[in-house]
Structure 1
Amino acid sequence: MTLAPGLQARLLIMVEREDTAAKVGSGDVPVLATPRLLALAEQATVQAVAGALDAGQTSVGTRVTLEHLEASPVGTHVEIVAELTGVDGRRLTFGFTARHRESVAATGTIERVIVDRERFLARLPR
């Protein structure tokens, strides 16, 4: 597989209490937390390119824009779709959308950079 725009991944979750703003500390209401939504969107970007990276490569997140438009209460099914929209050398740009029922719950973009996993880990402070 080649890294090219159009690669995508789709996640479907049901919002559970562990996913809520009240549980993760980003608010006090029982709806899908924005940080949890972002984590799911990032998970979808990782899955979208997983089969296209060379052995020893991974990608790391570098920039995010997210607009959380509607609340998703506990029990709601939410589908997150991430699509690779741009490749510029090692920089990957994704668009994502989260939908619940027939509505758009969130949209955004995520940038990731392809790195050599071992070299990346070797540079971490000890």
Structure 2
Amino acid sequence: MRIVAPNDCATQWGNDGLEVLSTPAILGYTEQLCAEVLAPHLDEGEMSVGVTATLHHKAAVPVGAKAVYTVAAEEVDRKTRFTFTVWDEAGAVVCEGTHLRAAVDVERFLASLKAARNDG
């Protein structure tokens, strides 16, 4: 459960006057939850990164209201697919979707970023 804060709102993304939970905030918090669920299953020296996400944002949740998030891993592996749902206080579905995360070796991942910066 999360209380919708002003920095979660659509106004942060150029939608003036829309003091409601934004799609980017939903995705960001969902990614965080999925990473937390997956973390205990990773090997030492690994982390997970988001690969894809699909979502259907169906309803608005105003600032100060509760948004309830659930995430479920289908099968934990090198790539793990999650399904997620967000509800409002009344129990109406606000958003649902899927998110795919991949396990990566942290050192190798950071080295590839450094190499990409040096090439560019």
Question: TM-score higher than 0.5 here?
Answer: yes
Segments of 5+ residues of structure 1 without an aligned counterpart are: 1-11
Using the aligned pairs only, state the percent identity: 38
Aligned match for 1:84, one of 59, 62, 73: 73
Tell me, what secondary structure is at the counterpart of 1:42? helix
The alignment status of 1:41 with 2:49, answered yes or no, reads no
Segments of 5+ residues of structure 2 without an aligned counterpart are: none
Cα drift, residue 86 of structure 1:
2.9
Tell me, what secondary structure is at the counterpart of 1:73? coil
**Deviant stretches of 4+, over 2 Å:** none
Aligned match for 1:110, one of 92, 99, 120: 99
Q: Which has the higher strand share?
A: 1
Distance 1:42 1:30 in 2: 22
Does the aligned pair in 2 maintain the 1:61–1:110 contact within 8 Å?
Answer: yes
Q: Which has the higher helix share?
A: 2
Tell me: CA distance 1:26–1:108, structure 2 relative to 1, closer, same or farther (3 Å).
Answer: farther
Does the aligned pair in 1 maintain the 2:2–2:67 contact within 8 Å?
Answer: yes
- Which letter does structure 1 place at the counterpart of 2:81? T
Does the aligned pair in 2 maintain the 1:26–1:33 contact within 8 Å?
Answer: no
Matched length: 113
Tell me, what secondary structure is at the counterpart of 1:66? strand
**The structure with more radius of gyration:** 2
Tell me, what secondary structure is at the counterpart of 2:41? coil
Over aligned residues, Cα RMSD in angstroms? 1.2
The alignment status of 1:93 with 2:81, answered yes or no, reads yes
Tell me, what secondary structure is at the counterpart of 1:54? coil
Aligned match for 1:58, one of 40, 47, 52: 47
TM-score calculated relative to the size of structure 2? 0.89
Q: Residue in 2 aligned with 1:19?
A: 8
TM-score calculated relative to the size of structure 1? 0.85
Does the aligned pair in 1 maintain the 2:39–2:48 contact within 8 Å?
Answer: no
Distance 1:27 1:95 in 2: 27
